[in-house]
């Protein structure tokens, strides 16, 4: 069964140093991967690939989570964990700019041929 991915774009608050943001995000990913349905995650630094990107400063990072099984159940588990207060969210969490998307595969993975 193909994985659905949950893509989270973010921009750290200017008042938070990059190393502090990255350290917290590493712990945050571990908390999310402990929830049912979340199978893997990778973080990325976003670097414009075009000379004039449409919105060059909206987001600086992306996290891609692979979800196995029912996406609604996985997201409900995440929502419940956040609402419970058990998730370690820093005081500056509300200042992070976020955008997130669910991406379901439209076909099989296509790989380059050797």
pLDDT in tens, 59-101: 899 999 999 999 999 999 999 999 999 999 999 999 999 999 9
**pLDDT of 21 over the 90 cut:** yes
31 found inside a domain = yes
55 found inside a domain = no
94 found inside a domain = no
- 49 compared with 105, residue with greater pLDDT: 105
Report DSSP letters for the chain, one per residue.
-PPEEEEEEEE--TTS-HHHHHHHHHHHHHHHHTSTTEEEEEEEE---SSSS-SSTTS-SEEEEEEE-S-HHHHHHHHHHHHHHT-S---TTGGGSEEEEEEE--SS-------
pTM of the model as a whole: 0.86
What is the extent of the structural domain holding 44? 12-49
Report the pLDDT value the prediction gives residue 53, as an integer from 0 to 100: 62
87 found inside a domain = no
69 found inside a domain = no
91 found inside a domain = no
Q: Count up the domains in the chain and report the number.
A: 1
80 found inside a domain = no
């Amino acid at each position: 069964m193909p994985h659905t991915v949950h893509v989270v774009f973010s921009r750290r608050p200017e008042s938070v140093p990059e190393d502090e943001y990255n350290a917290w995000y590493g712990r945050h990913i571990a908390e999310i991967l402990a929830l049912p349905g979340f199978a893997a995650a990778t973080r990325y630094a976003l670097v414009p690939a075009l000379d004039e990107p449409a919105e060059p400063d909206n987001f600086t990072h992306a996290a891609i989570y692979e979800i196995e099984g029912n996406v609604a159940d996985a997201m409900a588990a995440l929502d419940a964990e956040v609402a419970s207060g058990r998730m370690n969210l820093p005081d500056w969490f509300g200042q992070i700019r976020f955008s997130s998307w669910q991406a379901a595969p439209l076909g099989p993975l296509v790989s380059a041929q050797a």
